[in-house]
Amino acid sequence: MPTPDLPDTGRLLARLDRFDLTPEAVGLRARARELLRAGPEDTVVDVGCGAGRAAAEIAAEGPHVVGVDLDEGMLRAARERHPGPEFRRGDAYALPLPDGRVQGYRAEKVYHSLGDPARALSEARRVLAPGGRLVLLGQDWDAYMVDSADPGLTRAIVASYADGMPDSRAPRRQRALLLDAGFGRVEVEGSVLLFTDAEVLPMLLGLASAAVAAGAVRAERAAVWADEQRGRAEDGRLFVAIPFFLVGARW
């Protein structure tokens, strides 16, 4: 799960690993593979592959997988952890692949960081073969639900971080964007990921810090909110719900 603070690669990998091993995340990746419908003769590109877990899971079912990421640290970790897929440096606007050569395109937690999603979809069209499948996975950052004694302050903190992203509400627009881009058989599925333990606390504290840095919330109010969340973590009373969406389409 992406987090508002920016730890070094080692800490980020550890946090991503914890999220990736939750039953909810495992289920989402499995459903994405079902929507890709990739066979053993197919090639799949995983855009924003990170440390390569999803790419390796797809490759284990037979397809050739190319994981693409901008972060060299993540690519090194992916190559060390998962020898099956191929990992290359690149981004969603310029994939290191020839025209019309992949049967599956996958991007998880990527499109909220893109300022021009239509351009990324144009690049997806370029690399996809006719009849190829595309699957996008991502959360709606503006719809995070956090239990708190001060709902108004919570809304301000969540909205402040969401407003600082290029496209924090990306999943809401993807169906229309795919239709506009000429994709067919667009399918949308949604689920809610629920977190009630202290593993999610660093993300909440990062949200509060980001809201202060953006000038959206006074430091003293953010500190009170953060202390409340720490107390909830100690008492086993944290509640965070994250809407997550899968959008599939055919080219």
Q: What is the CATH number of the domain that holds 89?
A: 3.40.50.150
Q: What is the domain count for the chain?
A: 1
Q: Does some domain include residue 227?
A: no
Structural domain boundaries, residue 20? 9-140+167-193+243-250
CB atoms near residue 178 (< 10 Å): 25
CA-based radius of gyration for the chain: 19
The chain-wide mean pLDDT, for the chain, equals 94
Distance between CA atoms of residues 141 and 160, nearest Å: 10
Condensed to tens digits (0 to 9), the pLDDT of residues 221-238 reads 999 999 999 999 999 999
pLDDT at 8: 66
pTM (predicted TM-score): 0.90
Is residue 37 in some structural domain? yes
| Domain presence at residue 68 | yes
pLDDT in tens, 131-181: 999 999 999 999 999 999 999 999 999 999 999 999 999 999 999 999 999
Q: Does 130 reside within a domain?
A: yes
Asked if residue 105 is part of any domain, the answer here is: yes
Residue 172 within a domain: yes
Residue 77 located in a structural domain: yes
In sequence order, the β-bridge partners of residue 136 are 107, 247
Residues for the chain: how many in total? 251
pLDDT tens digits for 171-218?
A: 999 999 999 999 999 999 999 999 999 989 999 999 999 999 999 999
> Would residue 238 count as lying in a domain?
no
Q: Hey, what are 172's tokens?
A: 């809401």
Q: pLDDT at position 11, please?
A: 74
Q: What is the pLDDT of residues 48-96, one digit of tens each?
A: 999 999 999 999 999 999 999 999 999 999 999 999 999 999 999 999 9
